[in-house]
Every structure is written in C-alpha cells, then in structure tokens.
Amino acid sequence: MYRRPALFLLTALLSPLAAAELQFNRDIRPILSDKCYHCHGTDAAAKKIPLRLDSEEAAKANLGGGRRALVPGDPEASELIRRITSTNKARKMPPAWSGLSLTEKEIAALRDWVAQGAKWQKHWAFLPPVRPDPPSVKSSNLVRNPIDNFVLARLEREGLSFSPEAPKETLLRRVTLDLTGLPPTLAELDAFLKDSSPDAYEKVVDRLLASPRYAERMAARWLDAARYADTNGYQFDGERQMWRWRDWVIESFHRNQPFNEFVIEQIAGDLLPNATLDQKIATGFNRNHRINTEDGIVPEEYAVEYVVDRVETMGSVFLGLTIGCARCHNHKYDPITQKEFYQLYAYFNNIPEFGRGMKYGNSPPVIPAPMREQQMEMVRIEAEMRKAEGFLKEREAAIARGQRKWERTLASADPRYWRPRDSFAWTAKAADGVVPDVAGRVGQAKEFDGKAYLDAGRDLSLDIDDRFTVSLWVKPRAGDGSLVSRMQDRDKGKGFGVHLRDSRVHVNLTSNWNDDAIRIETEQKLELDRWYHLTVTYDGSVAARGVQVYIDGKQAPVKVLLDSLYRPFRNAGRAFTEPLRIGAGWGPQLRFRGLIDDLRLWHRVLKADEIEAVALGVSINEIARKPLAARTAAESNAIRWHYLDTVSGPQLRGAWERILALADEKDQLERKFPTVMVMEENATPRRTFLLKRGVYDQPGEEVQRSVPAFLPPLPPGAENNRLGFAKWLVDPGNPLLARVTVNRFWQMYFGTGLVKTVEDFGLQGEWPSHPELLDWLATEFIRSGWNVKAMQKLIVTSATYRQSSKASQELLQRDPENRLLARGPRFRLPAEMVRDQALAVAGLLKHRFGGPSVKPYQPEGLWNELSMQDMEYVQSRGDDLYRRSLYTFWKRTIAPPLMVNFDAANRETCVVRESRTNTPLQALNLMNDVTFLEAGRMLGQRMMQEGGQTPESRLRHGFRLVTSRVPSSSELQVLRDSLNYHRDYFADEAKAAEYLSLGETKPDPALNKRELAAYAAVGSLLLNLDEAVTKE
C-alpha cells in the first residue's frame, strides 16, 4: 500500500537518516504503535498475550528462558529483532493474518535503535509541555517573534531559509480571510498599500481582531468540532433549536473570553455558582449530538450513544485523544482502559434525558433562552408591572374604602363570580342524544347520561406545544368518564383529554398509543354524587411535570404513569381536526355520566391564587356579606379582583388594566423565547456501569467518575463532578488541552497542524513537525491567560506566516506539504468562505448577528427526495438569502450541497481535521449554482458602476475585488477577449435577458443588458479562478 503513514514521509524529509541517534518518541514508537500495539499494547492482557511493548519494563522483561524482546545494545539477541526479520512464516512478526508488515526502513530503524541502547521515552504528549527557549538563528534579522526562531532554526538546519515576505496585497487578503473569513474591501486595501508605517500590518491585525467578523470566522470551526446543526439527525431528522448556543459561541469569541473559561462554561456552566443564563446556554455544547426520534427504537440504546458521543467529542476537541476506541475494549494504542472510558462517561451520564428525543424541537433538558433584546423587554415589563402595582398599593386606603362602599350594593344584586378574563367562548351542540340543562353548582349545569355529549367545535387548539388551563365543576355519577377532550373518540386515540378513571382524575396527552404520550393521574379519588372543582393546567413543555391538577383549588398530588411524549397531534404537516368534546373522547366506553358546570378554558397557565379564587363555591355577593376578618385569602382576592375588574375609578382602573395587560404581554413574550438544550444534573446521580463490548444492555461492574490514570488527577479542591472535570481539563498541569488547542489554531492558518493528526495526540498520532514550537505556543497560551486573540495575533504577525506562498520546483519536490514552512500557506478556502467571499465581492453580503438559521438558495426538491413527509425547504427571502454561511440552516442528513461539495465537516459527529479535495463537482457548483451566478452578475454590475468608463479599468476593478491584486497585462488581455466574446454572444437580447434573470436581486435597469450580461459572465469567470477560491 503506497499510502504509508505520512510520518515516514516527514521523518525522511526532516532527517536524511544518517546514523543520527534515533529518538524513541519520534522514530520508534510510531512503528511499534502502528504495527505492534494492536496486539502487544494496552489491551494485551485482555487478550492473554504475554508480551507488551507499550511499557519499557514489560518490553525488556525476561519472557522465560532468558528470552527478552529487547536486549539493549544487542539486536541479534533481541527476540523482537529476530521475529521481525524471521524467514519462518510461523514466527514472523507482524503475522501475515494481521495484514500489517514492516518496511525495510522500519526494520533498520528498530535494529539501529536497539543497537544504540533501546532508550525509552514516555509519550511526549502525555508529559506537560516545558517552555523551551527560542533557539538562536543565523538570520536573526528575519525573526519577528519567537515562532520564527523555531521555524527558521529548523530551516537553517536543512540548509533552507524563509521565502521573502508576501506582497502587501497578498498578505492583506490572506490575513483578512484568515481572521474574518472575508476578503478585504478595496478601501481597506488602498489604505494598507498607502500606509508605510512600520506597524501598518499590526494595525490591520488589530482592526480585524476587533471586528465581529472575526468572531464569526472563529465560531465556524468551533461549530464543526461541536457537531452543531439545526436538526436532530438520524432517521426523521426534525428541526431543533440550538442557535442560541451558536450565538453564545460567536459572542464569546468576540469578547475574547479566555479559553479556559470558554471550556469550563461549555462543559459545566450550569454547575457554576449562581450560573447565569449565558453560562447555562454554553452547556449546549454537550447537547449538539444527534438525537434519535424514530418510532421503534429502544430508548436505552440511544441514551448510551448520546453519552458516548459526548465523551468522544470531548476527547477529540479538548484532549486530542481517540477515547472512543476504549468503549468496547481497552484502547489498542493509548493507555486508556475500558473501565476508564466508563469512568469518564460517568461525568456525562447524569442528566435528565430520555433516549428517544422530541420529533420536533428540543429534547429535555431544555431552557428558555431569551435573546438580549427579549431579556431587556422582560426587564421593562417587570419594571412597569412593579410601577403599576406600586401605584395601587399607595392608594390602598382609598381602594379599600371604595370597595366597601361597592360591596354594600351587592346585597341586592344577582349572584356573580369572579373569573379571569379571556376565557375561550365556546358554544356547543349535542351529539348522540340530548344534554339537558339542570341546576348546577354555580349556574346552569349540563347533565350527561353516559351516551350523549357536547361538540364544541375546532376553534381552540390544545396541542402539545400550547399552554392552556381547563377548569370546571363536576358531579360524577360514575367512576369512569371523559370530562373534556380534544382527542379522537376511540380507544387509544390521539389527543388531549381529562378523564375520570377509577374515580381518579386522569390527564392524557397521547400522540401515538402506547408510549408516545404523557399520562398522569391524581392519587385522590373523587366521590360520586358530590360537586368538585377541577382545574388542569399544561405549560406546553411536553413533559409530565408541565401538567398540574387542582381539586377544589388545591394542587393535587399526582402519579406520573408515562412521560415520553415526543410528537405533536398535528403530525406530518396535517392539521389535527378532532373537536373539543365535553363528556366524551376515547370512545363510547368513556362517555361521562354526571353533571358539569361552568367549564372554562384559557390559553394560558393560570396562577395558583387565580385557580384558588376560581374554585370558590361562594359568590362575590356572599363574600361581601362576610366581615373582612372572616374571609379567606382566596375570597379576599376574588372580591378585590372583581372590584378592580368592574367598578373602580378611571385612574385605578387604568393601573389595574395595565397590570393585566402587562401580565398578558409577559406571557406572550415568554412564548416567543427561543429555547436551547442544556446540561443539567439529576438530583440523584445515575449509576454508571461498564458496558461489556460497549453494548447498552450488557452492564458489567459499576464504576465511579474518574479521570484516566496516565493523566494528572483532578486538581485539589475540585469536586468529582462535571465542574471538577472541566477544571481538570483547563488545569495547567493537563499536558493536552493547550497543545491540542494551539495546534488547531495553527491548522487554520497553515492548513496542517504542527501535529498533523489534530484529533489524535496519542501514540498513533503523528510526531510534531516542530515539537519545541508546539510546546512554546502551548505554554505561551497558558501564560497569556488563555488569550485567544493574542494567540491569533502572535501567529499572523510572525515572519513565518507573512512569507510568500510561491514555491520553487525544488522546494515543492522536497516539501510538497510545506511542513518545513519555508514558504507561506497556499490552499483552497474552506466551504463557507467560498460562498461568503462571492457574496462579499458582489456587494450582496448582509451582516446580521445571530438568530434562527436561514435558508439560502438550494436546488429544489433535495429534501423531498430523501426525507420523510413534512420537511419542506422553504427558501428564505430578501436579506436572509445573503447572510454568512455560518447562519445557513444545516440539516444533518441532507446537508447544504455547496458545503458538502467544498469539504465542510459533516456535522453528524465531531470533526476537527480540515480536509480539502479538488473535484469536478466543485467546478460545476461554482459555474452553475445561482448563488455564484447572481454574485457574478452583481460583480459585473459593480464593474460597470464603479470601475470607470473603459473596459480595462472595469475589468481591473473586478479582478481586484476578487483577488486584491492588479491583473498583469496578459491576464487583462484574456479578460478583455472574454468580455468581447460575451458582448458578441449576448448580442442576442433574449439570451442576455435570460442570463440576467437568475437570483432574487434585480439588475440595475439603467445598464445596457447586453453589456451587463457580458460583464456578468466575466464576473462569473473571476469567481471561478483558482486564485479566487484560494488563500495565497
């Protein structure tokens, strides 16, 4: 197989393999790990293999009969060398069945290393970084900061040096793309070209770092790592709402939150003392995993997958470890046992979640997450509420006087009752018989005979995301019956219902029998032939705890029978058409027998004191007759509210109306709050068991939370929970977090990390190209207080970064991947930048921070072809078509095609390694996607409007907008020829009109269509240039 581990290309490149001393970490362990540890590694004991090569002691131990795998200094006596060079098939290592083999070079390296004394080293990445002194270099004049010392020292050893600094245009475009994800504007370009001050570049960097665009750029990579998406994934792949978390990430980068805090809040923000809303939102990081909502799944199986996903993602992102490999057995390469995997798992296994998620929307635990402006609105409403309440309070004496006067008039009035306003006005017709009026508890009651019922129409929605309250007086004559429902009138039907079952009040929200439902019932049984007042409230939270029952105004203890509702009644895009039924629902066997009086429904959750007042069986008139001291609190409330509702003077009345209106406004506002899935802890910790072979229903021994033994213990004083774990991650003693993080930053700028395997710093990870530089950067990151912006600035202001990316043939041959960094980076832009840049140079890009994801152009029908019913791609309109790609709606199972074509991370699972391919589908995408055609047209329009009068100046303008540089005369000649060709081509006006018709923006009608079409075609040409989609 020619795709050898890149390490050997690298070591071959870096050390021309003279008889130089071999280093275990750099030269030997990678061979052992890749070719031997699969059997002779951490998992050897489990497989009953006596020889282990992952520890020095074991590798050099007597294997019996004086045989030793390694005899330092004596290759011929070393069993390992004998075996790898054996010609006997039965003895040869690695064995043929493994599919592995050693190259001659590898065998030679092992032999030489044994001959040199077989010196062992602990794996470098598991030792804390020690800050090295930047090495001295010969060409010290080329050094701008310590990064350059490390890079240049290596180059000088190789007989190389830096390339010259990139031209100013190239450099500005490079750094602007790198730090903001967008190209520089021409104004920015001109300002920079004009600025000859020595710190001109640094000023640019500071400007870019301060821009909100920087935060969006940084967030894009973090979303990949965090597998952020707008849908749940798996089969149904319904929409979820996690953009509040996404916006938190952007804000965090913008305010330059120290990276250690950034980590702590995402892992355990909810456990911080007095956690703020933002800190809770941050924990959405661990809820971005896919959630399965398929009908027939075994929830326990997926509950395990979610926790495993958290552990794996945490491992890749923060530790650079492939921890997931230890799920089913001990890690084959790294010193992580299976038990340790489940000990880590235990930190993330204690949240109140259910394996089957909500089909639509967020799955618990979920919190309302008002946006800033909504939070401010809430503050305003509450302040005004306090003001209005204060106004009434100041006038208490006057109110009380007025009320007493009014009360005296009630003696002769008809009996009346206080009720909260805005109850649903229902009218009903009887069905299956007659439902006569009879004297009721507080008015006219309806008498049900166990057969007839009332049909109150379909006007009132009582779906699972509605908030509502139902209240009524009931006098049952049988222990089973449906009081009120909006549900199919059949056994096991779908919908909402309040029933009596075995004389208990039973509330049922069933989307699909059996388990797609919430069912609760009261502990108390109702007696027959006696009046009760019942209230049921539901807060739209799709959870049993969101349902409350009140009997005679007091909250009734309930038993939760089922709590796994996940689909709304209006399913698959179809309306739910069952009427509101009184005395029925659930079929003929549950028709109600008895009396119902004063049935009311509200589209809000009444407060407990309101419910108590509603449940009063006494009229206002009766209360008025009681002396003040003899009235209950509910009675006092009811009569006071009734007084304020009906009769007070204009000022008082105004204040009271204001309070009611504000309460309503508050309720309306709360309903608009976006929500976000977060981490929460169960009050009683869930026990965690090792899962044999990683299978959910094969528990082994119980395990306790702990970090792996080969890494430092929890820092002193840290509790052994998620918060303690987060503190452990960011503890300076942790050898991995800082290294892994700066390495990922490095990858953003140079295309490849100093450790190429950015996701794997374990034994199978690649040896760093510049180990000292990596450690220096890691220690510098910690020393700076985990200052993210400072780290970016350090990298982009280095001479290493500022080099020209032009390469000589010799250098290309010698270092095709640019690992030595004798030139600047040159590689294709990430997917989101390809689109964002096109929008920017076309003048189409619309900047707006955050909010729900948007749906830009996408070929029609893509979702319909693959997904289930009920997921339509409704394309956005107006500005939302031109937002940055970071805000594009991401459906996991059918990702935005442009992003897929340009190698974006898949967002199904954590991806931290950047990948780049070069395919014909990319060419088709850039040539024919309306996104780029419209951008090309608008770019053509800009050339005509802003580029002066001559074709040359216009073409130069367009070229410069896209590449930041001035075209050469021969390039300009090609563009002129192309323009002329297209002018001729679009002489056919019909063609021009068609070509200009793409996209939602309209061409400037003042421009000649033929000219514009020709410039539009050239605009498209410019956007297709290799240079356009490449950072040079």
Is 86 near other proteins (CB under 8 A)? no
Q: Say which DSSP state 779 is in.
A: H
Q: Which is nearer to other proteins, 173 or 793 (CB)?
A: 173
Can you tell me which of 41, 134, 233, 856 binds other proteins, judged by CB under 8 A?
A: 233
Q: Measure the CA–CA gap between 885 and 355, rounded to whole angstroms.
A: 31
817 binds other proteins (CB under 8 A): yes
Give yes or no for residue 894 binding other proteins (CB under 8 A).
yes
CA atoms lying within 13 Å on the CB side of residue 822:
22
Residue whose CB is less far from other proteins, 30 or 269: 30
Residue from 437, 872, 994, 1004 touching other proteins (CB under 8 A): that is 994
Amino acid at 701: E
Return the structure tokens found at 692. 């044999």
* Cα within 13 Å of Cα(926), Cβ side: 23
Least distance between other proteins and beta carbon 931 (Å): 10
Q: How far is the CB of 793 from other proteins (least distance, A)?
A: 27
Residue 409 or 968: the one with the smaller Cβ distance to other proteins is 968
User: From the CB of 908, what's the least distance to other proteins, in Å?
Assistant: 4
Nearest-10 Cα torsion for 787, 793, 795, 801: 170
Stretch that binds other proteins, among 208-216, 397-405, 599-607, 974-982 (CB under 8 A): 974-982
Number of residues that bind other proteins (CB under 8 A): 119
The one-letter amino acid at 588:
P
For other proteins, which is the closer residue by CB, 230 or 455? 230
User: Minimum Å distance from CB 269 to other proteins?
Assistant: 27
Q: Minimum distance from CB of 94 to other proteins (Å)? A: 12
| Tokens (6 digits) for 740 | 């892994």
**104 makes contact with other proteins (CB under 8 A):** no
Using CB under 8 A, pick the residue from 24, 890, 995, 1015 that binds other proteins: 995
**Cα–Cα nearest to 308, from 330, 285, 324, 320:** 324
176, burial (CB in 10 Å: exposed 0-12, middle 13-18, buried 19+): buried
Structure tokens of 889? 């709606």
Contact 804, 167 (CB under 8 A): yes
CB 676 within 8 A of CB 284: yes
Task: Say if CB 298 and CB 355 are below 8 A apart.
Answer: yes
Which value, in Å, is the radius of gyration of the alpha carbons in the chain? 36
- Phi/psi at 139 (5° precision): -90, 65
Asked if 567 is part of the footprint of other proteins (rule: CB under 8 A), the reply reads no
Q: Does residue 333 interact with other proteins by CB under 8 A?
A: yes
Nearest CB to other proteins, comparing residues 486 and 907? 907
By CB under 8 A, what part of segment 349-368 binds other proteins?
A: 356
296 binds other proteins (CB under 8 A): yes
Q: Please state the closest distance from residue 242 (CB atom) to other proteins, in A.
A: 18
Q: How far apart are CA 62 and CA 48, in angstroms?
A: 17
Give the nearer residue to other proteins in terms of CB position, either 100 or 478.
Answer: 100
Contact between 681 and 725 (Cβ < 8 Å): no
Helices and strands (DSSP H and E) totals, the chain: 37, 21
Residues 6+ apart with CB under 8 A from 824: 163, 166, 174, 801, 802, 803, 804, 805, 1032
For position 808 contacting other proteins by CB under 8 A, the verdict is yes
Rounded-to-integer distance, Cα 599 and Cα 832, Å: 56
Q: Which of 400, 709, 923, 987 binds other proteins (CB under 8 A)?
A: 923
Q: Quick check: 17 binds other proteins (CB under 8 A)?
A: no
Q: Does 897 bind other proteins (CB under 8 A)?
A: yes
Residue list 709-738, contact with other proteins (CB under 8 A): none
Any contact of residue 332 with other proteins (CB under 8 A)?
yes
Do residues 843 and 882 make contact, with C-beta atoms less than 8 angstroms apart?
no
For residues 427 and 970, which CB has a smaller minimum distance to other proteins in the complex?
Answer: 970
Structure tokens at 474: 């009931």
- Binders of other proteins among residues 822 to 881 (CB under 8 A) are 826-828, 859, 861, 865-869
Residue choice 141, 274, 915, 949 for contact with other proteins (CB under 8 A) = 915
Q: Give me the count of residues in the chain.
A: 1032
Tokens of 20: 């130089």
Alpha-carbon span 936 to 1018, nearest angstrom: 7
In terms of CB distance, is 632 or 906 closer to other proteins? 906
The upper half-sphere exposure of residue 756, i.e. CA atoms within 13 Å in the direction of its Cβ, equals 15
Phi and psi for 494 in degrees, rounded to 5?
A: -95, 140
Q: Which of residues 669-698 bind other proteins (CB under 8 A)?
A: 697
* 571 part of the interface to other proteins, by CB under 8 A: no
Q: Which stretch binds other proteins (CB under 8 A): 84-92, 666-674, 945-953, 1020-1028?
A: 1020-1028
751-790 positions binding other proteins, by CB under 8 A: 751, 757, 759-760, 762-765
Q: Where are the beta strands (DSSP E) in 762-839?
A: 827-828
Q: Can residue 164 be called a binding residue for other proteins (CB under 8 A)? A: no
Q: Which residue has the tokens 């309806």?
A: 446
Interface with other proteins by CB under 8 A: which range of 20-28, 298-306, 407-415, 768-776?
A: 298-306
Kindly tell me which of 597 and 1032 has the beta carbon lying closer to other proteins: 1032
By C-beta, is 702 or 817 nearer to other proteins? 817
CA distance 744 to 226: 14
CB of 299 to other proteins, least distance (A): 8
* DSSP 8-state class, residue 162: P
Shortest CB 68 distance to other proteins, Å: 28
Among 812, 872, 966, 1004, binds other proteins (CB under 8 A): 812
CB of 325 to other proteins, least distance (A): 7
CB of 934 to other proteins, least distance (A): 10
Among 809, 949, 950, 1002, binds other proteins (CB under 8 A): 809
Indicate whether 89 belongs to the interface with other proteins (CB under 8 A).
no
Convert residues 503-522 into a mask of x (bound to other proteins by CB under 8 A) and - (unbound).
-----------xx-------
Q: Per rule CB under 8 A, is residue 103 in the interface with other proteins?
A: no
Side-chain half-sphere exposure of 345, counting CA atoms within 13 A? 30
Q: Considering the rule CB under 8 A, would residue 637 count as an interface residue with other proteins? A: no
By the rule CB under 8 A, 556 interacts with other proteins: no
- Name the residue nearer to other proteins (CB basis): 49 or 981: 981
Per CB under 8 A, contacts with other proteins among 940-969 are: 968
**Per rule CB under 8 A, is residue 900 in the interface with other proteins?**
yes
Shortest gap between Cβ of 1012 and other proteins (angstroms)? 12
Q: Which of 14, 26, 105 is nearest to 814 (CA)?
A: 14
Q: Name the residue type at position 618.
A: V
Q: What angle do CA 584, 589, 591 make, to 5 degrees?
A: 30
Among 619, 893, 941, 964, binds other proteins (CB under 8 A): 893
Q: What is the dihedral of CA 1015, 1020, 1022, 1027, to 10 degrees?
A: 180
- Cβ within 8 Å of residue 65, ≥6 positions away: none
Give the 3-state secondary structure of 464-511.
CCCCEEEEEEEEECCCCEEEEEEECCCCCCCEEEEEEECCEEEEEEEE
Residues 239-268 binding other proteins (CB under 8 A) are none
123 binds other proteins, rule: CB under 8 A: no
305 is a site residue for other proteins (CB under 8 A): yes
Name residues whose C-beta falls within 8 Å of residue 56's C-beta, 6 or more positions apart in sequence.
120
Chosen residue from 929, 942, 954, 1015 binding other proteins by CB under 8 A: 929
Taking CB under 8 A as the criterion, the residue among 294, 394, 527, 1004 binding other proteins is 294
CB 494 within 8 A of CB 569: yes
By CB under 8 A, the residues from 28 to 47 that bind other proteins are 33-34
